[in-house]
Amino acid sequence: MLTTTPPAASRTMAQALDPHVHAAWARQCHALSPESIRLAALDWASHLALSPGRQMDLAWLAWQETVELAAAMLQPVGEETPASRDRRFAAPEWRNWPFHVWRKTFLLRQHWWEQAVRGVWGVSQHHEDVLSFLARQWLDVTSPGNLWFSNPTVLQRTAGEWGANVGRGAQALAADTLRKLGDSPQPGLEDYVPGRQVAITPGKVVLRNELMELIQYSPATGQVHPEPVLMVPAWIMKYYILDLSPRNSLIRYLVGEGHTVFCISWKNPDAADRDLGMDDYLKRGMFDALDAVCNIVPDARVHVAGYCLGGTLAAIGAAALARGGDQRLKSLTLFAAQTDFSEPGELGLFIDESQVSLIEAQLAETGYLKAEQMAGAFQMLRSYDLLWSRMINQYLLGETTDINDLMAWNMDTTRMPARMHSQYLRWLFLEDRLSEGRYPVDGRPVSLSDIGAPLFCVGTETDHVSPWRSVYKLHNLTSGELTFVLTSGGHNAGIISEPGHPHRHYRLGTRMQGMPYTDPDSWAGAVPEQQGSWWPAWLAWLQGLSGGPVTPPAMGSPVYPALDDAPGQYVLVK
């Protein structure tokens, strides 16, 4: 008699064998699923094969671009063109023969592929996005600007220095290679040690558990606003992005303006923390911290501010508190934090069922996501800024770049527990549970529409991690007062935008309760641009919700005594 149920022994073998095979495959392909790429390519190629009209369009485009290239070959040397304004080819040398022809060839080829992977009947949007991204990565390898023999700036520098720049570049390449093989730190990092040069705002650790430390910062003014501020940073980064050097520390800025500030410093997890999940970060992180803040500063409601994934967690926590009638939150601020993941930007290219399953197989063996994997994903998203421009400047032009505080912080990477990272990818990115009212806290889903506290939300114009239009979708999920800021810069530099920083601007608008919805592009077109940092605008918003000055609270309390000086122990764990 035939049966469709495999024998128990066969199921046991599959359960024991398959995860190890998938984990080994993940190591070979650096946890980037080749199956996802093949599926996208097959989807595109098979549908293109059945689309003769689209084939004719692409053939005609190729002919037009061939004619355009022929015309470019006859173009007068030095003539300004739209291509000259591409920052990759902005140097005036690119207008000279034959470099302007190579530049034009590359840009036309790039444009053809951009058109080729789009608009094919039947191809899914996700597969279009994947192929478009991969085409850009592949084309960048052959960009004339990335090759020494076709980059006029490199050739000019080499001739002018008689090859000395090549020698310096070779030395830098050798040093970087040896450093990576020996797992040695980047030179200059010793100038940015937490507690010495960065993360030096005075304070005390008043709570430590298995997941985080809570830092209370010492008052810098004789009187303070009665409502404390609790900062919830993301655990995919060290907390001191909010407390860099004294000149650009958001925490120091708030303390100096009369606010009592608390900040969570997350533990850098290892294999022993593999079973920590999103609920643990909510309860042992945000909720434990909130309990401590309310004990140290009793009878005061709390301004909560979350950054990136910490902002997503803060929104989840605020919704859970509101559902239970907890009124301890005075306001909620989200910095570059998504609450709707239906359009997460280019980071979503790495997140589909095949990709997540491959990561989960690797996580099952290691117990955590390595910091290098996350850094590699971000590097791919900004390949020109983080890879190619650095290679050109350092290895071809022989230039050295001094590390600054933000760069040093970016190199101080963290790991992520296996269970949490799997839930983060599945519950938020793949299933978008939060925006759909299906994200569970204590076994029941929460809804962001329950949040009644005033909201302040910041998006950044060039954010590759939390695209500002995705961040803006908080307007669809809440109905109360919401102040939205769109600021210049990216995911990190846009937030760390202290007063006096040059070339900064922002837009700010408030949606009052009951006002109709405005789409993000119409909003950006209607709201005037303001010069400078958005920090003073947020400060004014906080102070408008805060009470009159009072005596600063004690550092810690009998229940939460001071344990260590800031920045504590967890931030130092590599």
Active site residue 263: no
Residue 481 CA to residue 457 CA, distance in Å, equals 11
Look up residue 435 and give its amino acid: S
Q: 40, 16, 94, 113: which is closest to 355 by C-alpha?
A: 40
Q: Tokens 């009470």 — which residue?
A: 547
Whether 382 and 347 have beta carbons less than 8 Å apart is answered as no
Pairing of strands 439-441, 416-417: unpaired
17 Cβ contact list (under 8 Å, min separation 6): none
CA angle in degrees (0–180, nearest 5) for 542-544-546:
70
Tell me the β-bridge partners of 484.
Answer: 457, 509
9 Cβ contact list (under 8 Å, min separation 6): none
C-alpha count within 13 angstroms, C-beta hemisphere, residue 392: 25
Mark 363-402 as b/e (b = at least 16 C-beta within 10 Å).
bbebbbbebebbeebbebbbebebebbeebbbbbbbeeee
Residue 559 CA to residue 210 CA, distance in Å, equals 18
Pairing of strands 439-441, 444-446: antiparallel
- Count the Cβ atoms, other than its own, within 10 Å of residue 102: 19
Look up residue 304 and give its amino acid: V
The radius of gyration computed from the CA coordinates of the chain, to the nearest angstrom, equals: 26
Would you state the structure tokens that stand for residue 123, as one six-digit string? 């191809």
Task: Tell me 487's DSSP state.
Answer: E
In terms of DSSP H, where are the helices of 161-222?
164-181
Tell me the β-bridge partners of 445.
Answer: 440
Whether 328 and 356 have beta carbons less than 8 Å apart is answered as no
Whether 296 and 553 have beta carbons less than 8 Å apart is answered as yes
Would you state the structure tokens that stand for residue 249, as one six-digit string? 């520390």
Ramachandran bin of 258, using left for φ above 0, alpha for ψ from -120 to 50, beta for the remaining angles: left
Residue 510 CA to residue 411 CA, distance in Å, equals 36
Q: Tokens 């290098």 — which residue?
A: 372
- DSSP string across 209-246: -SSEEEEEEPP-SSSB-SS-EEEE--TTS-GGGGS-SG
Q: Exactly one of 29, 263, 294, 308 is catalytic; which is it? A: 308
What is the set of active-site residues?
308
